[in-house]
Amino acid sequence: MANEVQKEKVTAAASLTILSEEETMFRESVRQFAEERIRPLVSKMDHDAVLDASLIQGCFDLSLMGINIPEAYGGAGSSFFMAVLAVEELSRIDPSLGVFVDVQNTLVNNAIIRWAREDQKRRYLTQLSACMVGAYALSEPSSGSDAFGLQCEARADGNYYVLNGRKLWITNANEAGLFIVFANANPGAGYKGITAFLVEKGLHGFTIGKKEDKLGIRASSTCELILEDCRIPKENVLGAVGQGYKVAIETLNEGRIGIGAQMVGLAQGALEYAIKYTKERRQFGKSISEFQGVQFQLAEMAVELEAARLMVYNAARLKDAGHSYVKEAAMAKIFSSDAAEMITSRTVELYGGYGYTRDYPVEKFYRDAKIGKIYEGTSNMQLQTIAKLILAR
């Protein structure tokens, strides 16, 4: 028995870094798409602050928008780990496309797969697999880290709920056709009144508001939502009334792994630029990569990146295996966002003055990296989660 347990542990450890043939082929197909289709448009999308429509369609064509949606609903029927690989590879070229695919898979699709009724799954998962972009609307002007302090209310009115309030920082808002909106259907019950609703774009009383002018991931749309007497059929409640807080908590735990993958991907992209440039840049008669001081910096960057990747892969593998992964997800997110910020900063420094200009791509990675410590739970919130879990032992 002891030998069998040890064998399982070894196999699990090896699986973190060794990809199956299917996983390897999938990663290569995403990388090819990113290199051939996304890379030529990165600078323009960042400047214009908008995703190219052809790339959105390309993500659907490559089945990247329904990776873990069961085949019965038109999805690829694959694993959560595959979604992590896709986000990583896309973010290596453009983190804006990475988070676009991430929100669809780790937040929207996952929430519906887990909490929706069969008729809701058939109605929405089939569209999310084929042509519909999803968004996840939890944050509000007065409730960020304190997500359960939301003010958006849902009042019962016959066969409908009437929603009123504002949502803020909603990723994919401009492109989305479906929003998972959280509102309180019983404010007197506190967080136990929070309920998740499936809200389609175009409903009367539902408006996409201001688009934020951001520091990084500029091509990814981040907007406010305005709900003014927006009538939602009761059949569009996701899960049960009052279960919204459970939907939010469980989905965000998965989403943090996706953000970790985004940070790993962008850090990989930055490191590749750093290695290439230090080999080409010559000072004092030789390439700067021959200087030990530069070599040590590159080595430290590589170590941080590999550690971050292992933590993200570990959390994703645990999730797919049905094991507890909340602590590991929080650890992966905080570590990978720290690593991404360090690696992109070092890359800018290694480029010298060139790194500080927009003529070179590395300053964009530096700008993009900062969001990793902020969205889907700030670094302080991750530390709080980790501390609670290790102290509860």
Q: How far is CA 345 from CA 190, 275, 309, 335, 338, in A?
A: 42, 14, 18, 15, 11
Q: How far is CA 177 from CA 71, 74, 140, 298, in A?
A: 21, 17, 20, 43
CB-based contacts of 112, cutoff 8 Å, min separation 6: 120, 121, 124, 125, 128, 180, 198, 238
Determine the Cα–Cα distance for residues 121 and 132; give it in Å rounded to an integer.
Answer: 13
- Strand blocks (E) in the chain: 134-137, 153-157, 160-171, 178-184, 194-200, 206-211, 222-233, 237-238, 282-283, 286-287
Give the phi and the psi of residue 225 in degrees, each rounded to 5.
-115, 140
Among candidate residues 89, 140, 304, 376, the one labeled active-site is 376
At 203, which amino acid appears? L
Alpha-helix runs per DSSP H in 321-392: 326-350, 362-369, 379-391
Q: Which among 107, 112, 56, 61 is positioned nearest to 83, based on CA atoms?
A: 107
CB-based contacts of 237, cutoff 8 Å, min separation 6: 161, 195, 196, 197, 198
376 is catalytic: yes
Which residues participate in catalysis according to the annotation? 376
